[in-house]
Amino acid sequence: MKSGNPYDLSAVDPAMPLRRQDDEQTMSRPDLDLARTDGDWSGLYQRVRASTLALAAPLSAEDQAVQSMPDASPVKWHLAHTTWFFETFILKVDPAYRVFDPAFDFLFNSYYEAVGPRHTRSERGLITRPDSRQVLAYRAHVDAAMMALIDHGDAALWRSLLALGLNHEEQHQELILMDIQHAFSLNPLEPAYQADPSPVASPAQLAWTAFDGGVVEIGHDGPEFAFDNEGPRHKVWLEPFTIASRLVTNGEWMEFIADGGYRQPRLWLSEGWGSVHREGWVAPLYWRNVEGVWTAFSLAGRRAVDSNAPVRHISHFEADAFARWSGKRLPTEAEWEIASGADCIAQVAGSVWQWTASPYVAYPRFRPAGDAIGEYNGKFMSGQMVLRGGSCATPQGHTRTTYRNFFPPAARWAFSGARLADDV
Ligand SMILES: [Fe+2]
């Protein structure tokens, strides 16, 4: 498969968990690997739920109530919505379960049409009641019922939905960090959520690994948890390609800016060029030039841009334009999955999600579930692009080689970056 390669692709685990490397800049996140529960579901449930509260702990009630844009949600809403998920899809199946507050269905249903009507997404910041105390009481009520169910209920009835609920909550843990960073970035004080991250080592020399192409298989298949959009496993034809050993760095991005990357329409997709003008893009989100020095706002506050660190908070349009400026292109998601599964590229998870050239569409033979859970992923397969890997804000053990993250191509508030590829 790969030219002169030491990698045996036939031995690649189709759903290999992606672990961070020691040299990657990470936040302090607990290891919540669902594949290593050893059957201790109650312990895992408690760790995931406690981890969410730990993320909210440094935030005041005012911090937790703010909504900085329609795409972002208040932290308090995340705390309640993840709880609503367990209550709605697991606990309510039992007619004996006592609902905490029937009004919460309307407030904390995100997008499930089959469940019923819901509050307008862009107005979640207006929900000052229930207050934070009541939301914490809601979490405690649902936690007590969940623990009783896990301890005494029929596991066959709740295990797969519990795994989904915990993975769902882990996704919202990353959203909490994305959303509070965006909110804090709009505060003139630019407060820090956490202490300085450790400095990033010099990036490794950029190397390229060539693959011969041919018929390969991608997608999840197996008993381990995966979201429905990761399967079915299926065959894909790949032309020969090469892929970069590491991520695009801030230093390389500053060269792109200095070379007029944001001012050359020939580098940009038409829709992206429209975003450059409409949004006034001159650099990644959160960057500001202060007396000739590029600075970036992060969860650690505003700092000079570290030229060694992977660039982040770029849209798909920016990643695509950078690739064109470099004389390269973005990898397709199939190329990325084959390369990461072959373990021949660095920085696969733990820094930034990596934009691919692939639109977010269904794999062959994909059929979403016929109930409300079928709305989880399938109905968003339009107008979005796939990102692969994982980020510094992704819980340890949450992501896999087959994992498909997705955002609209102009979105920049995710921990998103780029890795280059090229044709052979
Ligand atoms: Fe959700």
Q: What is the pLDDT along the chain (424 residues), one digit of tens a residue?
A: 333 333 333 333 445 566 554 444 444 444 444 555 668 999 999 999 999 999 999 999 999 999 999 999 999 999 999 999 999 999 999 999 999 999 999 999 999 989 899 999 999 999 999 999 999 999 999 999 999 999 998 898 899 999 999 999 999 999 999 999 999 999 999 999 998 766 677 788 899 999 999 999 999 999 999 999 999 999 999 999 999 999 999 999 999 999 999 999 999 999 999 999 999 999 999 999 999 999 999 999 999 999 999 999 999 999 999 999 999 999 999 999 999 999 889 999 999 999 999 999 999 999 999 899 999 998 999 999 999 999 999 999 999 999 999 999 999 999 999 999 999 9
Ligand 1 centroid to 422 CA: how many Å?
35
Ligand 1 centroid to 290 CA: how many Å?
38
Q: Which residues contact 375 (CB under 8 A, 6 or more apart)?
A: 111, 112, 113, 114, 368
Ligand 1 centroid to 409 CA: how many Å?
20
- Same topology, domains 9-185 and 208-423? Answer is no
Tokens of 409: 């191509």
Q: Which residues contact 60 (CB under 8 A, 6 or more apart)?
A: none
Ligand 1 centroid to 16 CA: how many Å?
24
* pLDDT score recorded for residue 376: 93
Ligand 1 centroid to 278 CA: how many Å?
30
Q: What DSSP letter does each residue of 54-86 carry, written as one string?
A: HHHTTS-HHHHH---STT---HHHHHHHHHHHH
Ligand 1 centroid to 82 CA: how many Å?
6
Residue of 173, 168, 149, 174 whose CA lies nearest to 41: 149
Q: CA–CA distance from 409 to each of 53, 68, 275, 318, 363 (Å)?
A: 31, 20, 10, 9, 20
Ligand 1 centroid to 83 CA: how many Å?
10
* pLDDT score recorded for residue 203: 80
Ligand 1 centroid to 98 CA: how many Å?
22
* pLDDT score recorded for residue 8: 34
* pLDDT score recorded for residue 4: 32
Ligand 1 centroid to 178 CA: how many Å?
14
Q: Are strands 416-417 and 353-359 parallel, antiparallel or unpaired?
A: parallel
CATH class entry, domain 9-185: mainly alpha
User: 232: cis peptide before it, omega within 30°?
Assistant: yes
Residue ranges covered by each domain of the chain: 9-185, 208-423
Does the 208-423 domain belong in CATH 3.90.1580.10? yes
Q: 52: how many CB neighbours lie within 10 A of its CB?
A: 21
Ligand 1 centroid to 119 CA: how many Å?
14
Ligand 1 centroid to 351 CA: how many Å?
23
Q: Which residues contact 229 (CB under 8 A, 6 or more apart)?
A: 360, 362, 363, 366, 377, 378, 381, 404
Tokens of 224: 């381990």
pTM comes to: 0.92
* pLDDT score recorded for residue 116: 93
* pLDDT score recorded for residue 35: 52
Residues by chain with Cβ below 5 Å of ion ligand 1 = 110
Ligand 1 centroid to 106 CA: how many Å?
14
Ligand 1 centroid to 81 CA: how many Å?
7
> For residues 171 and 39, is the Cβ–Cβ distance under 8 A?
no
Residue of 210, 207, 227 whose CA lies nearest to 219: 227
C-alpha to C-alpha distance for 274 and 265, rounded to whole angstroms: 10
Q: Residue 219 half-sphere exposure, CB side, CA atoms within 13 Å? A: 18
Ligand 1 centroid to 66 CA: how many Å?
18
Ligand 1 centroid to 172 CA: how many Å?
7
Q: What DSSP letter does each residue of 318-365 carry, written as one string?
A: HHHHHHHHTT-BPPPHHHHHHHHHTT--S--SSB-EEEEEEE--PPTT
Ligand 1 centroid to 244 CA: how many Å?
33
Ligand 1 centroid to 168 CA: how many Å?
6
Q: Residue 307 half-sphere exposure, CB side, CA atoms within 13 Å? A: 7
Ligand 1 centroid to 179 CA: how many Å?
14
Ligand 1 centroid to 110 CA: how many Å?
6
Q: Which residues contact 183 (CB under 8 A, 6 or more apart)?
A: 63, 66, 67, 68, 72
Ligand 1 centroid to 376 CA: how many Å?
8
Q: Are strands 301-304 and 405-407 parallel, antiparallel or unpaired?
A: unpaired
* pLDDT score recorded for residue 11: 36
